[in-house]
Structure formats: C-alpha cells, structure tokens
Structure 1
Amino acid sequence: MTPLHLWLRHEVRPTERRTPIVPGDARRLVERGVRLTVEESPQRIFPIEEYEAAGARVAPAGSWVSAPADTVVLGLKELPDEPARLTHRHVYFGHAYKRQPGAAELLRRFTAGGGALLDLEYLADGQGRRLAAFGFWAGYLGAALAVLQHRGRLTAPLRPTDKGALDETLLRAPGDPDFTALVIGALGRSGRGARTAFATAGVDPTCWDLAETRALDRRTLLDHEVMVNCVLATTPVPPFLRDTDLDAPARRLRTVSDVTCDVGSPLNVLPVYDRTTEWTEPVRRLHKDPPLDLIAIDNLPSLLPRESSIDFSASLLPQLLAFETGGAWGRCLDRYHRARRELGIVEGDAAGE
C-alpha cells in the first residue's frame, strides 16, 4: 500500500494562526510511516523549524497546487480562488454543504479537477458526533469577547494571546456592574466553552439547549443583556432573533456574540445580519436605539492559536492515522457527493459554469 502523503498548507487568511497538526503530532505521523510535507507559513503559531525537526519535508507556501495527485492537502479555512480546477483531496472546513454563498462554485472546482472535499465539519462517528472540533475554544472566546465588549474593555484590532493573559482581562474589576447573560446551545462543546469564560468573568449565565429552543421564550431571551449563540442548526428552526425583535422598545439585549457564524445559510438562526465581523473591527452596531452590538468572527479560536491547535491536533491525529481505512473518512466522501447531487453538479461540470 502506498503511504499516505499529507500536505499541510499555508493558510491564506492573514488572521489564521492555527494549524490542524502541531509539531509533536507531526512527529507521530512520520513515525507511523506517513509522508508529511509542511508549507512555510509566517503566521502559523508553530515555526517551520519544529516541523522539520519532526521529520517533515518543507515546501514553499502555496506549492500544494503542484503536489502529486495522490496527495491529501490539509488545512483549516478557505482555499485561494485559484486554481479553478482542484485535483487533490482536500481536508478542511469548506462551509459548502448548506448552500452558503460560494458553495456551488467551490464544489464545481472540485468536480472540474476530479478532486474531493473531505469537510472537517462532517468528520463524525457513526452516531453523528464530530471527531475533531474547535468548538470549546470558539465558545470560550465568543463569550470572552462579549464580556469585554459589555464591560467596555474590548479593544481593536484583536490580537492573538494565550489563555492566562485573556483570563486576566476577564476577571471582574471594581466598579464592573452585574449583567444577565444567556448561552444558547449550552450543553455542546461551544456552550461548555462559553460557560467556562463566563465563570472566569464572575457571571452565572442562563443556559438553554434543545428543550428551551424548541419552545422559544422570546421575551425572556430579549430580557438578557448579553447573548452567546452556540447553536449550529442542521435542520430548519425558528430564528432566535428577527429584525422585528431589534425594534422592541423593552429589549434589554445589548450584546450578541454569534459563535456559529452561519451567515448566508438558510439555516441561520440569527438572520439579523448579512456579514461577519473582523479582527480589525470585531463589533458592529446592528441597531441604534435601543443599541444592539454584534460580534460574529468566524475564526475565533485563532485568537488562542496555541491552545486551540494543540487540542484539535490531538483529536485529529488518530483519524489521520486511520485515513485509508474508510469509516469516518468514507462518510465524509459520501457527504461530498451528496452535496454535489443536491446542487445538481455532475461530472464534467466546469468551474464557474
């Protein structure tokens, strides 16, 4: 059997500091016979020298486009716009299976080149439980930024840090007023992270999960001052916030942090905004009177790149070591083909058509 050849690519997004495989786990892959190529990347939290010391081959940033055809290209966030034909199997968060903007164009690129998307969001066991996720850190940071914003201590641009330093900023200071907070999706990975951040900040949030969202008490929701959404809907559900809710004069809600950032999807539970926020401007005012501020950053864990990468890599490593055995990866491939069928994309479709 030909050894698995993994190619860890450079991330094109300037604020993406994370990596799906840390140097220690890179060494474990190499020791188990995996061929590993790692692209140079100036923003990656771990320096290229650590990967080289682990036994990986080093390649220039962006050189995956000319990698051998059987290479599996590994990343986290979006691909560059070129090449138009994607010939490799790619493992990353594609955000293309719920009719998000650009989904059809991306899947046509794979179809045109004969490659495939193995989306990390759908890497799951037989019961649908995700096997590798950044959820805890996304929830933690979503709540942390909401606390800092509500207390008037969030500064821009955002910069990567470590958990110890961030926790110091979350501690309640003299004069900080009490406020009410709500975590929706409190029992999942992201919800646990959000609850942890609130606990560090000295805030005891209301916690909602499936039971509460099935029979949504909208008045109670709007009566909280801070809300963190950790729900990633997979089937249509009534939205948690509507445009009419923003005009409600009795609304106490002032800060919303959307960890899920499902903007553009018909399954979005917060259809009150149409674009995410950025590290340079992390907060957008959705409504002036009464005020409502939004935080919606779609790579939150990159603000704690070392901690989040170490956790994610530890969970992804056993899946990569079992890459050729089917199972979860086979289900990923099936989901890719199903997504193409749902969009009417068939073999022979050219990218951009």
Structure 2
Amino acid sequence: MTKIGIIKEGKVPIDRRVPLTPHQAKHIKENFDVEVLVQSSDVRCFSDDDYRNVGLSIVDSIEDCDIILGVKEVPIDKLIPNKTHFFFSHTIKKQEYNRDLLRSILSKKIRLVDWETLTNENGNRVIAFGRWAGIVGAYNALWTYGKRYNLFHLKRANECFDYADLKKEYEKINLPNIKIALTGGGRVTKGAMEVLLGAGINQVTPHDFLSQRFEEPVFTQLNSRDYNKRKDGKEFHRNEFYANPEHYEGDFLKYAKVTDVLIACAFWDPAAPVLFQREDIIRDDFDVRIIADITCDIEGSIPSTKKPSTIDDPIYDYNPSDDVVEQPLTDEGNITVMAVDNLPCELPRDASESFGNELIDNVIPHLLGSDEQGIIQRATISNNQGELTEKYNYLQGYIDGK
C-alpha cells in the first residue's frame, strides 16, 4: 500500500499552512486506498490532535513513506533520499538562494514535483495559493491606508482566526474618495477584488477611473493592455505581448497621476516593460502613496520594492529622492510599501483548506492513477535517478553554478 506522509514544515520563518487538512487527509485515506501518516508538528494551524481525532497516525519520522507532501522548501538536512517530494521549490526561475537545495535533491535521487508547475493541458495551474495572496494583500493595503492616515484601525490578518473573522473588520473601514488601482487578471487579482468589493468599494472602468471624479472610494482592475502599448503605435495583442514583450513599453503613468493606492497582482516577466521608474516617482504628478506589491518582485517592475517585508513587519517606507528604504510612516513624501512575500500564511486555515481541495480534485487522481493527461509528468523536475527531466534540463547550468 502506498504511504503518503505530511511533513513538518521546517523552513524559517515558520509556515503554518498544510497541504491537507485533517478531514481532507482522512478523505484521501478512505477513498484512494493509501495510508496517510502525519509527522508531529508544533507549528501547524491544525494540531496533532486534530489529525488524531479523525483517525490518522501521528509519527516522529516519515522516512518509510513513498510520497512526502509539504508546502515550503524542505531544509536540505530534512530531505528524505529516494522518495517523491512535493513542495514549492522556488528553483524553476534559477533562484540563486535555492541552488544548493536542487543540487541536494539530485544527489539524494529525489523525485521532485513542484506545486507551481502542476498544470493542465492548456498550461493553466491546477493548484495554487494565489487567491489567498490576493485576499490578504488587498486587506493589508486597506490596513496600511488606515494606519498611514490614522483613519481606522483594523486587526492584522494573521490575528484573525479565519477569513470569516477577517470579514468582520470590514465594518471599521472608512475611506475617503480615494482611487485604488489593481494590476492583473488572474487568481491573485480576483482574490484582491473579493476584498475590495466585500469592503463596499465600487469598481469602475479604467476609462472612468482616469476621466471622472468620484464622491466615494473606487477601484479599477487593469489588464496588461491597459498599461502597456506597442512602441510602434500599433494595436495591442495580448498573445504577442507575452511572446515578444520587447516590442512594448509601459503606459502606467497616466494611472499613477490619479491613483492613491496601487495593488500589484500581475505576474511580471523580466523581459516585459517595468510599471514605472524611480525617476517617475519623484515627478510632481505621481500621486501613488501606498503600494501593496503582492507579486513582490524585488527591484523588478516596481522600483520601490527594494526588499520583501514580513508578517511581523509588513510595511516599510521608500524614499524616492534617495532611493532607500526607511522606517515606515516617517515622512509624507515617502511611499509606504507592503511587500510581504508569504501572504497566504496570514490566513493559514482557509488557505490550506482551499489548497487541499484542489489537491484532491486536480492532483491526487493523477498521482495515484495513470496520469494519462501528463499532469504529474509535466511538473516533475527531477527523477529518482538523480537527473533533471527533459523539460527542466535548462536548469543544469544553474546547478553547475554557471
């Protein structure tokens, strides 16, 4: 019988999320003829007793499991050789800080399947925490606005028991007639919109956002066509933009002139135009005062995102004149930045349940079945022979330190 193990998260700072809640783990055990073991942990949002109470075994070691499920990167000394590991490895973009992790995975002949690379035949991800990043990121943006201007005081998202508890905080939000711009159109953006609409903030079109004044707070959702344009003046085509972004230039500044709060949710390709430059920020007509950078691309498309922030210290100030980070809320000439890079961790119970549902619906049947659609195959970075799979051979130079 196949044994599936839920690993204790070992990355620091700690992550309280789980790939499967107790009831979801029980469901898999009962419906897929597998054994599910749970490594004892004092950091999970669900306790050991929560898993015991549904009939699951709590163990100190999961070394005899065939498949190991986790969320964040597994510390190198906790990797179990010759097993199948599932976690977010943060290696497919050649992230330098995880080079040794991937080297160890190969040397230990681990079959690595990365959650981020699990896609359907159309290339769309089948499992993700994106919605929860958007929800917490947008909430943090509103929290930051209230704090910067001393207008209202919300509980932190991570102080809320769950999403239902967080929604109770909406009643405290009392915004002036500000304008909020969201970039992107995927899961993250939809999660952010969920919060803004839930807080009673009306959505307007990009055209009205630019051209009209409003007596109440509003937001607009911007797709890539709204803030990028062809250099030769020809019509924007989305597929071409993603295939050949070098043919385009940024066109966000017209929005920056009327935006008070920017919530950045859009995936950014380094080959694509940046949203704006530092020189743009110091212009008199650049009105953005708060940036919630959910994407958290360090010194990427948004120059004020100089570093990630943390759940404990979620905001910092960016001084555009000197291009430096300063203590938060210290000068009205600064931009206040929220760039927490693990936002779903602030609502771990809800985020875990949503993730686990997608795992059961979209991954487990293929993992424990024939994988006829190639969902597991496409997401497998390394095999149990200590080799990169063909799709990920481009990482060899990265592993070699080139």
| TM-score class normalised by the smaller sequence | 0.7 to 0.9
How is 1:1-16 mapped onto 2 (pairs within 5 angstroms)? 3-12=1-10, 13-16=12-15
SS at match of 1:276: coil
Q: 1:271 to 1:4 in 2, by over 3 A?
A: farther
SS of 1:344's equivalent in the other structure is: helix
1:5 Cα shift? 2.0
Structure 2 residue identity aligned to 1:328: I
Q: Which residue of 1 aligns with 2:310?
A: 278
1:322 match: secondary structure:
helix
1:341-352 aligned at under 5 Å gives the runs: 341-344=394-397
Superposed CA RMSD in Å reads 2.7
Which aligned pairs between 1:125-164 and structure 2 lie closer than 5 A? Answer: 125-152=120-147, 153=153, 158-164=158-164
Task: State the match for 1:178 in structure 2.
Answer: 177
Return the offset for 1:126: 0.7
AA aligned opposite 1:190: V
Aligned to 1:203: 201
The change in CA–CA distance for 1:172 and 1:252 in structure 2 (over 3 A counts) is farther
Q: Which runs of 5+ in 1 are unaligned?
A: none
Amino acid across the alignment from 2:224: L
Superposition pairs for residues 66-145 of structure 1, below 5 Å? Answer: 67-68=63-64, 71-82=66-77, 87-145=82-140
C-alpha distance in structure 1 between counterparts of 2:79 and 2:165, whole Å: 42
**Whole-Å separation in 2 of the counterparts to 1:130 and 1:17:** 23
| 1:26 pairs with 2:21 | no
With 312-321 and 230-239 compared, the bigger mean Cα shift is at: 230-239
Q: Which residue of 1 aligns with 2:46?
A: 46
Give the partner amino acid of 1:16.
Answer: D
Could you tell me whether the CA contact under 8 Å between 2:181 and 2:262 is conserved in 1? yes
Alpha-carbon distance in 2 for matches of 1:137, 1:298:
12
Given that 1:107 and 1:340 are in contact with CA atoms closer than 8 Å, whether structure 2 keeps it comes out as no
**Matched residue type, 2:338:** I
Cα deviations across residues 203-257 of structure 1 (Å, max 9, x unaligned)?
A: 2311111322432422233231111111223572111133323323322111111
Q: Is the 8 A contact 1:259 1:298 kept in 2?
A: yes
The secondary structure found in structure 2 opposite 1:191 is helix
Please state if 1:259 is matched with 2:306.
no
Cα deviation for residue 345 of structure 1 reads 6.1
d(CA) in 1 for partners of 2:87 and 2:315?
A: 27
Give the stretch that moved more between structures: 75-84 or 316-325: 75-84
Kept after mapping to 2: 8 A contact 1:283/1:295: yes
Distance 1:124 1:82 in 2: 29
Q: Supply the distance in 2 between the matched residues of 1:147 and 1:226 (Cα, whole angstroms).
A: 9
Partner in structure 1 of residue 237 of structure 2? none
> How far does residue 88 in structure 1 lie from its aligned partner after superposition?
2.7
Ranges of 4+ aligned residues in structure 1 off by more than 6 Å: none
Query: How many matched pairs?
Result: 337
**Structure 1, residues 3-53: CA drift from partner, whole Å, max 9, x if none?**
332111111245422211011111111112112111122221222223234
* 1:158 Cα deviation after fit: 4.8
1:303-322 alignment, distance < 5 Å: 303-318=346-361, 319-322=363-366
Letter in 1 for 2:139: A
Q: Closer, same or farther in 2 for the Cα pair 1:310/1:178, shift >3 Å?
A: same
Taking CA–CA contacts closer than 8 Å with sequence separation of 6 or more, which of the two structures ends up with the larger relative contact order? 1
- CA–CA separation in structure 2 for the residues paired with 1:249 and 1:9: 52
Distance 1:86 1:243, change over 3 A: farther
Tell whether the 8 Å contact from 2:94 to 2:398 is kept in structure 1 after alignment: no
SS at match of 2:358: helix
Say if 1:35 and 1:207 are closer, same or farther in 2 by CA, change over 3 A.
same
Match of 2:376 in 1: 329
Cα distance change, pair 274–81 in 1 and its aligned pair in 2 (3 A): farther
Q: CA deviation at 1:291?
A: 1.5
Amino acid at match of 1:259: I
AA of the residue aligned to 1:199: L
- Tell me if structure 1 keeps the 8 A contact 2:228–2:251: no
In the alignment, what sits opposite 2:343? 300
Q: 1:157 to 1:334 in 2, by over 3 A?
A: closer
253, 265, 268: which one aligns with 1:219: 253
What secondary structure, in the 3-state scheme, does the structure 1 residue paired with 2:255 have?
helix
In structure 2, give the amino acid aligned to 1:203.
I
**Residue identity in the other structure for 1:225:** D
Q: Do 1:76 and 1:92's aligned partners in 2 also have CA atoms closer than 8 Å?
A: yes
In the TM superposition, residue 151 of structure 1 has moved relative to its aligned partner by 1.6
Q: Is the 8 A contact 2:298 2:308 kept in 1?
A: yes
